Structure 1
Amino acid sequence: MAEQRAADGAVAVADEAGAAARAAAEAERQAPQERRPTVVADDVHIYYRVYGGARSRGSAANALRRMVTRKGGPSVRVVRAVKGVTFTAYRGEAIGLIGTNGSGKSTLLRAVAGLLPVEKGAIYTDGQPSLLGVNAALMNDLTGERNIALGGLAMGMTPEQVKARTQAIIDFSGINDNDDFASLPMRTYSSGMAARLRFSIAAAKSHDVLLIDEALATGDARFQKRSEERIRELRKEAGTVFLVSHNNKSIRDTCDRVIWLEQGLLRLDGPTDEVLKEYEAYTKAKKK
C-alpha cells in the first residue's frame, strides 16, 4: 500500500509539473513578443541645394556664369524637403508612405536607403535597406535574363541561387506572357514591363528592409495582386517593408501602418485605416 501511495504521489507530481510547463508555454506564446526596431529616424532634416536657383530677373547665362566663377555673390537656393521627421519601424511591419506630390516621400526613402545624406538628425538601420523604385537602374542593352543575373548577384545571391530562381522571376514578372522578351534587350521593353521586372528581381530575395517606391503603380491588376501577396510573404519572413504609393487601395491591401508626410512634415503616423481616412478627407477638401 505504501508503495502504491508513493507511486500515485509521483504521478500526481509529474502531472502537476506537466500542467505547469504547459501553462508556462501557453503564457509565453500569448505574451506580446518584444518588437525589434529596424529603422529609427531621429529628427531627420534633408535639404537640397540648387545652385543658380535663387529667384532673380537675371538671364540663365548670367546664372551659369555665377555658378562657374562664383562671382556676383551666392546664388544658392536651399529646398527643405524633409523637416524634423521622427519615427521607429519594427521588424514584420509593412508601412505605407503617403502624401501629396512634393511632400518628401521619395526623398525620405532614399535617405533610409543611404543614398542621400541628412542635414540634421540621424537615421539608424538594423540590416541593409534595399531600394526598389520605378527608376532603379537596369542596363538597357542587356537582355532581361542578363539583368536578372546582375540584379541577383548585386543583392548578394550566389550564381547557383540566381540560376535556380531565374525562371521564377521571369514567370512572376510576366514579361514572357506574349513573347520571349526575357531573351531580348531591355530597350525593347515597355515602361510597365521594365517596372515589373525590377520588382520581381528585388522580391526574389528576402530583405532586412525593403523600400518600394511606386513599384505597384505599374502593371495590370493581376500583377499588382501578385506583388501585394509577395509583400505579405516578405513580412512573414521577418523583413520590414516601406511602400510609397499614390494608390490608396494598394496601401490598404498591403500595409498595416501609414506615415503621412505633407510639405516635408510628419502629419500623422498610425493604423492604415485611421490615417487614410484623414488623408482622403484632406485631399478632398484641398480639391474643393
Structure 2
Amino acid sequence: MTKDATQAAQEVGVTAPVPEKVPTVVVDDVHIKYRVQGGKAAKGSATAALSRMVSLKARRARKSGALPPGVREVHAVKGVTFTAYKGEAIGLIGSNGSGKSTLLKAIAGLLPATEGRVYTQGQPSLLGVNAALMSDLTGERNVILGGLAMGMSRQEIQNAYAGIVDFSGINEKGDFISLPMRTYSSGMGARLRFAIAAAKSHDVLLIDEALATGDAKFRRRSQARINELRAEAGTVFLVSHSNSTILETCERALWLEAGVLRMDGSAKDVIAAYEEFTSGKK
C-alpha cells in the first residue's frame, strides 16, 4: 500500500487525529465475495472436483465471469466501513456466518477485498496464522517456529520461552511441551498459540475465539495481556461469542449481521442492542 492508515482515514472523512487518536486500521466500504461448491458431494468427490477444475467448460465459465456448475457465490462482507485507533480493544460480535472471521482475514491481508480497501499501520497479526504451528512437532519446537514466524530473534525466543510455557499453562498437568502438538486438546493448542502471539508486541493483533478456551484463570491472564498490548500502543480485535468476554476485554464493539455492519459504538451499548435483537428472534 502506498498510503498508510492515517492518510486513508482522512480521505474517507475521518477528521485529522489528535496525538492520542492515531488510526491503525481503516476499512473503507469493503465487500468480500467468495465461491463455494454447492450441493451434495458425489462419490469420489475429490477426483470429480479436480476434473471439474481442469475441464474446458469450467475454464470457459471462469473467463466469461459465469459461475461453473454447482458453484455459488457468497457475499460475506457487505460495504463495511470503520476506523480503529491505537490503544483500542475492539470486539466483533454477530450471529454465526455474519462475516466476523472473514473480515479479520481481510484486515490481516490473507483475503483480498472484492471491492473497497483495507489500510493498516504496521503489520497485523492474526492469532494462530502468523504463528504457523505444526501438529507433528513438539510444543517446544513450535514455540521456536512461532516466534521466528513473528519476526523474533532466537535470543528473544530463548528469553521469552519460559514465560510462554508458563502463560499457556499446558505443563500444569505434565510435560506436554515436549510432546507433539497432535497430542494436545484443542484448548491446549489454542492456549499455546495465544501465549506465543502474546509474547511479542503487535501493531494490530487479531484474535478469533482464542479466549473461549481454557479456565477462568487463563482468561484472566489473557485479558491482562491484552490490556498490556493496548498500553504498548497496539490495537486488538477480538471475535467472541461470549458477550461477557467482550465486555470485560473491550471498550468498543462492532456488530456484524449477514455481512452488514449494524452498529459501531461502546461495547456496552452494542451488546445491549445485539442481545435485544437475538432475544426477539427466539
The answer to whether the aligner puts 1:178 opposite 2:164 as a matched pair is no
Shift of 1:137: 4.0
2:273 aligned residue (250, 265, 278): 278
| Pairs within 5 Å for 1:16-95 | 33-51=19-37, 53=38, 64=49, 66-71=52-57, 74-75=68-69, 76-95=71-90
Shift, 1:142, TM fit: 1.2
Match of 2:146, SS state, is helix
Contact 1:134-1:198 within 8 A present in 2 as well: no
Instruction: List alignment gaps of at least 5 residues for structure 1.
Output: 1-31
Query: SS in structure 2 opposite 1:102?
Result: coil
Q: SS of 1:81's equivalent?
A: strand
RMSD: 2.2
- Alpha-carbon distance in structure 1 between the residues aligned to 2:250 and 2:20: 20
**Alpha-carbon distance in structure 2 between the residues aligned to 1:117 and 1:109:** 11
Counterpart Cα distance in 1 of 2:159 and 2:44: 55
Distance change (3 Å), C-alpha of 1:90 and 1:234: same
The one-letter amino acid of 1:36's match is: V
Q: Which residues of structure 2 form unaligned runs of 5+?
A: 1-17, 62-67
What secondary structure is seen at the aligned counterpart in 1 of 2:27? strand
- Give 1:11's aligned residue: none
* Structure-to-structure mapping, 1:113-132, within 5 angstroms: 113-132=108-127
Alignment of 1:130-209 (within 5 A): 130-133=125-128, 137-209=132-204
Partner residue, 1:233: 228
Instruction: Give TM-score, length-normalised by structure 1.
Output: 0.82
Q: How high is the sequence identity, in percent, across the aligned residues?
A: 67
On the 8 A contact 1:44/1:122 being kept in 2, the answer is: yes
Q: Secondary structure at the match of 1:211?
A: strand
Q: Distance in 1 between matches of 2:44 and 2:174?
A: 50
* Residue deviations 1:78-130 (CA, integer Å, cap 9, x gap): 11000000000000000000000000000000000000011000000000000
Paired with 2:146 and 2:129, the residues of 1 have a C-alpha distance of 14
Task: Number of aligned residue pairs: give it.
Answer: 253
TM-score, normalised to structure 2's length? 0.84
Say whether 1:251 aligns with 2:246. Answer: yes
Check the 8 A contact 2:132/2:149 in 1, yes or no. no
> How far apart, in 2, do the equivalents of 1:124 and 1:157 lie?
24
